[in-house]
Amino acid sequence: MKRFFAALALGSCCIGGNASAQVSPNAGASLDTLFNQYLNDGPGAVLIVSRNGQQLFHKEFGYASLEHKVPITNETVFEAASVSKQFTAAAVLLLVQQGRISLDDDIRKFVPELPDYGNKIDVRMCLTHTSGLKDWRNVTYLSALPTGQRLFNQDDAIDMICRQSNLNYKPGTRYSYTNAGFDLLGIVVERVTKKSFAAFVKDSLLTPAGMKHSAFRNRFEDIIPNMASAYYGPVTHLRHGYTTDETYGAAGLITCADDLRRWNEFINKGKLAQTRLQRYVLISGDTISYAVGGVHVMDFDGIREISHSGLLSGYRALVLYYPQYDISVTYMTNNKNIITADLQVKIFEILFGKKRKAAIPAVQTNYPDVATLQNKTGAYYGVEDESEFFSFHISNNKLICHEALLQPVGTNEFIYETTGYRFSSGGDTLIVKRGGEETWFRKATSFKPDAAALKPFTGAFYSKDAIVELTFELRGNKLVAFRNGYDSVVLTPAYQRGNQTAFRGFDHGLRAIYLFTQSKKGAVNDCTINLPRANYIPFSRSKSK
């Protein structure tokens, strides 16, 4: 393990004469303590905190290879995963600066094979996850071997993106994280520059930034010097995480924490520094946190944070920059168990001595009576993301969400851990607040069928969008979806609304809502499957052979 920190440098950090811009004097020691919990005979990480190019804190620990007990060093490289997006964004912004692309250009100008969905999808939307395009990786979860379990290359990605017959929503109206836009932009860079994406990024960004240990990957079988193996699972039973992937744009960068430190210095003080921070303004007029530079730009108690994290296989990455302080934080790990979202909050609180999470409302001592709870029971479906579903019932005079006991914070408001549930007075709508974001739900009719009522939903259904056929069969009183004789998903009745009946399940661990449509005569010929980031995937009943 290597460790270095300059406590005095952190403690005296004051930028631009702003006397209030002080960093906690004990930040170095606190960061060291934070990572002590992960010091074991297992995978590890590298964390670097720097200011104006000078390293203030540097910690390396754990093994790059558990099999051979190779320690992680400053030169150990990892998958950057979605941190790669800011490199793709920078490549696009360079082309914009050169007048070769406009952020207002229709993406179909460069990728004409993408269907015309009736509404323009421009380059800016692809950079900010506001295009409405489905996340193609999630669509593959409906197949027997989804992403992560079989090799996908760039051609596979573009094919899956372009075969989607509809969008998640009208472009420009919402933010929904999707890898599709950035994978398309990887192709745009190649078609405009007439160079491979990897070569253009290396020549235009990596080399000028001094990132000597970084490159976008080529073949997944390639031997990469100093590459850490990835691990996931319980500490007592860790498993290998493999990256069988040859796509680029949304991910694909191989790098080390020290190179990312150089990147933070280069990109946040270079010619794209201001342009990359332009956040997208939705058609409604609301400004989202995601900017055209492939980063989140957020303010916490007057402190601006530019950030992005990444997760792929057992690798995680985190890049933070605080412009008022000129402080850079870069972190890479081969241990999936160290959650970067939690780490991001803790690092902020250690550096600046401020609590970032909103205070949790106080729980009431008196629980609402059963009569008050009654109109809150039943099924609720997501308005913006139809893969989301909540079911509430009363047990021992208390309101239960699935299996979780909710605590009251008001007559119509409840909380479970840090998630808030606010019902309308009539119980017909629900707002769920998670991580400061509010999500709307509507009430539907609960559905508890017997075997006879499930019969119309049986049979084979095919999707051109997902390139898969699912066969729904009865197993006792359960409806089960099969891809083949051994690969199946047990479906649980969820709700009914009008002529639609919904079931819920988990396919390869990903939540899914199977929404069947019945004709007036009761025939079921259509099914739509809703996944996170990929709603409205159409299936039609297969014709009899």
The tens digit of pLDDT for each residue in 290-316 reads 999 999 999 999 999 999 999 999 999
Q: What does the alpha-carbon distance between residue 47 and residue 360 come to, in Å, rounded to a whole number?
A: 30
- Pair 153, 247: CB distance under 8 Å: yes
Query: Of 316, 321, 322, which is closest to residue 343 (Cα–Cα)?
Result: 316
370-446, CATH topology level: Lipocalin (2.40.128)
Q: Record the tokens describing residue 382, joined without a space.
A: 């997501």
- Pair 60, 44: CB distance under 8 Å: yes
In eight-state DSSP terms, residue 532 is T
Identify the pLDDT of residue 484: 82
Q: Helix (H, G, I), strand (E, B), or coil: what is residue 417?
A: coil
With bands split at pLDDT 50, 70 and 90, how would you rate the model's confidence at 9? very low
With bands split at pLDDT 50, 70 and 90, how would you rate the model's confidence at 98? very high
Identify the pLDDT of residue 6: 52
Asked if pLDDT for residue 448 goes beyond 70, the answer is yes
The verdict on domain 1-101+190-356 having CATH code 3.40.710.10 is yes
Tell me the mean pLDDT in the region 473-499: 93
Identify the pLDDT of residue 439: 96
| Ramachandran quadrant class, 133 (left: phi over 0; alpha: psi -120 to 50; beta: rest) | beta
In which element (H, E) is residue 91 found? Answer: helix 85-97
With bands split at pLDDT 50, 70 and 90, how would you rate the model's confidence at 428? very high
User: Other C-beta atoms within 10 Å of 340: how many?
Assistant: 22
User: In sequence order, what DSSP letters do the residues of 332-356 get, joined into one string?
Assistant: EESBTTS-HHHHHHHHHHHHH----
> Per-residue pLDDT tens for 118-160?
999 999 999 999 999 999 999 999 999 998 889 999 999 999 9
With bands split at pLDDT 50, 70 and 90, how would you rate the model's confidence at 10? very low
> Per-residue pLDDT tens for 321-346?
999 999 999 999 999 999 999 999 99
User: Other C-beta atoms within 10 Å of 219: how many?
Assistant: 9
Amino acid at 411: T
In angstroms, how far is CA 438 from the centroid of its own chain?
17
Asked if pLDDT for residue 276 goes beyond 70, the answer is yes
What are the distances in angstroms from CA 125 to CA 184, 271, 437, 533?
12, 22, 21, 15
Structure-model confidence comparison of residues 209 and 356, the more confident one: 209
φ and ψ at residue 80, rounded to 5 degrees: -85, -15
The pTM for the full model equals 0.93
Identify the pLDDT of residue 356: 82
Q: What ranges do the domains of the chain cover?
A: 1-101+190-356, 370-446, 451-541
The verdict on domain 451-541 having CATH code 3.10.20.30 is no
| Tokens 């492939």, residue located | 294
Q: Decide whether 370-446 matches 451-541 in CATH topology.
A: yes
Asked if pLDDT for residue 451 goes beyond 60, the answer is yes
Q: Record the tokens describing residue 53, joined without a space.
A: 């190019």
